[in-house]
Structure 1
Amino acid sequence: MSSSIPSLLSIGEEVTDAEEVPPLCSRPKRGLESFLLFAQDIPTTNLGFLDSRAAAVEVSIRGNEYTIHQSPTLLSSSRAGGTTGAVLWKITPLFAEWISSPNNPLWTSSFLTQESIITELGCGISALIPLTLSPSIQHYIATDQEYVRRYFRTNLDENISANNANTATSTKKGKGASKAKKASKSSTSASTPSSNITFTTLDWETDQPAFLKGCIEGNEGTVHRGNDEEDKGFDLILSCDCIYNDALVTPLVRTCADICRLRPAYNPNSEPEPDGDDRKPTVCIVAQQQRAPEVFETWLRETLREFRVWRVSDEILGDGLKVGTGYLVHMLLLRE
């Protein structure tokens, strides 16, 4: 069992009861976690779009500039199945910067490494999170509905090309070009070619997560461990701003749990055996914007049935995502 998990448990305070109510609380139907979070002053924004009317928006993440093409027309259409993934949401660049930071506990604990495989649920059109993470891991599988695919691929390809061109130009300037090139290798890692990013559709109601790895080119759907046992699981699941109505909650939580069950659950009392299962338990990180407290409570109640839950602390999140910004980030570990 992975020794990096215990160090992650200090990422924040564990949430133990969605229904617990503060003493003398005048709102007895509000759970404690929701009461504490939604009692904060939250910035007044729209639904959370960065700019829902623009055909393209510019964002900067860790020194890299990105142009994100989006579809305001598709967003406002009456397409069955929803259209919220057609534009960039404000939380996405903030989350991409946080999750890709070398100071993030997922990296400092060595839970994430160059061998890690990550999947994202409800990725939307931007490709920002895989663009920032893919240079540091083995493979990234982004999932959403089919209508997202074309814009996702456009944003992926164009931003890789643009950042490669910028990097090539900047490293040729000055007498210290060769030294600058070496120094820039790590700082511009998000601009390296990302053939290790795959987009595939995933229906939370009907598709089987056990087949997700089958979409990786050259892979039959599994990664083999040293003893030739098949590993269909993932090191990390990401979900960024996928929780905005009650109807999505149960399918999302169930899909997260189904993916986590492809790996063993974390057991703090178990000792690794020499020939035992050495796969890391899957960690799930859920980021969301604070909207309706009732929807958040529904998500938390459903999630606590399947997972242990930690709310990531302000100290670790930093100014962009801390409590009071209108955003929340939780870490989930599957219950045994």
Structure 2
Amino acid sequence: MSPSITDLLKIGEEVTDAEEESFLLFTQDIPTGNLGFIDSRAATVDVSIRDNEYTIHQSPTLLSSSRAGGTTGAGNPVENHTPLRRLDLKSQNPLWTTSFLTQDSIVTELGCGISALIPLTISPSIQHYIATDQEYVRRYFRTNLDENANITKSKGKSKTSTGTKNKSKKQGSTKGASASASAVSNLTPNSNITFTTLDWELDQPALLKQCIQESENDEDKGFDLLLSCDCIYNDALITPLVSTCADICRLRPVYTSSGEAECQGLKPTVCIVAQQQRAPEVFETWLRETLREFRVWRISDEVLGDGLKGGTGYLVHLLLVREK
């Protein structure tokens, strides 16, 4: 077993029963509130993270629109990123202190939303960050990267993206190929942040890394870390979300009771799922579905800190995919 995984799993308590976990978490007193909104009517909001001040553009009009397919992630951008803002705390975060994450790490995020706050804060410390969401998110995501480019200087060894190549061959997946080359873009010059669309029901996660690789034949199609923040709020989204998370994590070796399988010296993909406490039945449904595909650890209050510990209204779990 890799020392970094062994140490990382001290992050909290393993969860084995969805009903018990839901009861434990939702019988706590939690704040009632506004889902983290700072000002859902403002065109821009200012966000302070550590010593940096970010100006984030948002779309109040789009948030209140009746757009087909929904507008999640397009309105107030700060509400769905609070749980993951501690990821850049290298001196305190076990992902860094165990050396699981390094400057060579590649991270991807599902349902990134428009704010770009997580890639802005993490990207200087890793090789590359791939943010995914629906196409309508792209414009504001790019605006927010450009607005705050002077704050975050990339240290990643990025490759310029020229688009995703079409492939007819299914790489071990029944999902359809990702869209056209227009779905992929490095969003600022020399940036190690890439945005691409990803449909959880139709697209192939195995194609994600083509955004940043010149060759389709690179042996490692996987990621060190997979992030999902506040994507769990609708029963209809649970199965495709969990399935996509599992597909992405299985691009790397699978962690087993005897340690992770060796495969070109690669570590398993760690998945971090953060969410705001909403409906207990939705959370329980997500966790029951997740436990079929993953081993799950609830991250401890000691690791999360005062802003995210139990009773704050936020939940953060670590997932390692099971063998099929």
Asked if these proteins are the same fold (TM beyond 0.5), I'd say: yes
Specify the code of the residue in structure 2 equivalent to 1:220: S
Give the corresponding residue for 2:59.
71
- Assess, with a 3 A threshold, how the Cα gap between structure 1 residues 77 and 332 changes in structure 2: closer, same or farther: same
Tell me by how many angstroms 1:219 deviates.
2.5
CA contact (8 A) 2:253 2:260 kept: no
- Secondary structure at the counterpart of residue 43 of structure 1: coil
Tell me by how many angstroms 1:90 deviates.
2.9
Structure 1 segments, 4+ long, off by >3 Å, are 270-273
- Assess, with a 3 A threshold, how the Cα gap between structure 1 residues 16 and 162 changes in structure 2: closer, same or farther: closer
Give the corresponding residue for 1:83.
71
CA contact (8 A) 1:2 1:278 kept: no
Give the corresponding residue for 1:7.
7
Question: TM-score by structure 2 length?
Answer: 0.84
Give the corresponding residue for 1:300.
287
Of 245-254 and 155-164, deviating more is 155-164
- Residue 220 in structure 1 maps to residue 215 in structure 2: yes
CA contact (8 A) 1:246 1:295 kept: yes
Question: TM-score by structure 1 length?
Answer: 0.81
- Residue 111 in structure 1 maps to residue 106 in structure 2: no
- Secondary structure at the counterpart of residue 150 of structure 2: helix
Specify the code of the residue in structure 1 equivalent to 2:193: I
Quote the sequence identity (%).
77
Specify the code of the residue in structure 1 equivalent to 2:69: G
Tell me by how many angstroms 1:80 deviates.
1.2
Q: Structure 2 regions of 5+ residues with no counterpart?
A: 154-187
**1 or 2, which has the higher helix percentage?**
1
Q: How does 1:286-325 map to 2 (within 5 A)?
A: 286-325=273-312
Q: How does 1:38-53 map to 2 (within 5 A)?
A: 38-53=26-41
Give the corresponding residue for 2:161.
none
Larger gyration radius, structure 1 or structure 2: 1
Which whole-Å CA distance do the structure 2 matches of 1:324 and 1:34 have between them? 13
CA contact (8 A) 2:109 2:226 kept: yes
2:133 paired residue among 126, 140, 144:
144
- Secondary structure at the counterpart of residue 315 of structure 1: helix
Give the corresponding residue for 1:135.
124
Tell me by how many angstroms 1:48 deviates.
3.5
Q: Which string of whole-angstrom CA distances, capped at 9 and with x for unpartnered residues, describes residues 80-102 of structure 1? A: 11102112133514522x11111
Give the corresponding residue for 2:84.
95
- Assess, with a 3 A threshold, how the Cα gap between structure 1 residues 310 and 163 changes in structure 2: closer, same or farther: closer
1:281 paired residue among 246, 260, 268:
268
- Assess, with a 3 A threshold, how the Cα gap between structure 1 residues 247 and 48 changes in structure 2: closer, same or farther: farther
Tell me by how many angstroms 1:270 deviates.
4.4
Which whole-Å CA distance do the structure 2 matches of 1:257 and 1:10 have between them? 22
- Residue 33 in structure 1 maps to residue 33 in structure 2: no
Q: Structure 1 regions of 5+ residues with no counterpart?
A: 19-30, 165-191, 225-229
User: How many pairs are equivalent?
Assistant: 287
Q: How does 1:124-203 map to 2 (within 5 A)?
A: 124-161=113-150, 195-203=191-199
Tell me by how many angstroms 1:118 deviates.
0.4
CA contact (8 A) 1:64 1:163 kept: no
- Assess, with a 3 A threshold, how the Cα gap between structure 1 residues 9 and 270 changes in structure 2: closer, same or farther: closer
Q: Which string of whole-angstrom CA distances, capped at 9 and with x for unpartnered residues, describes residues 43-101 of structure 1? A: 110244232111111111121000000001001111111102112133514522x1111
2:48 paired residue among 60, 76, 80:
60
Which whole-Å CA distance do the structure 2 matches of 1:241 and 1:47 have between them? 10
CA contact (8 A) 2:35 2:79 kept: no
- Secondary structure at the counterpart of residue 77 of structure 1: coil
Of 199-208 and 76-85, deviating more is 76-85
Which whole-Å CA distance do the structure 2 matches of 1:288 and 1:140 have between them? 20
- Assess, with a 3 A threshold, how the Cα gap between structure 1 residues 334 and 129 changes in structure 2: closer, same or farther: same
Specify the code of the residue in structure 2 equivalent to 1:64: N
Specify the code of the residue in structure 2 equivalent to 1:128: L
**What is the aligned-residue RMSD (CA, Å)?**
1.9
CA contact (8 A) 1:143 1:200 kept: yes
Tell me by how many angstroms 1:278 deviates.
1.0
CA contact (8 A) 1:131 1:194 kept: no
Which whole-Å CA distance do the structure 2 matches of 1:91 and 1:205 have between them? 22
Specify the code of the residue in structure 2 equivalent to 1:11: I
CA contact (8 A) 2:121 2:152 kept: no
- Assess, with a 3 A threshold, how the Cα gap between structure 1 residues 212 and 42 changes in structure 2: closer, same or farther: same
Q: Which string of whole-angstrom CA distances, capped at 9 and with x for unpartnered residues, describes residues 94-151 of structure 1? A: 522x111111000000000011000000000000000011011010000000000000
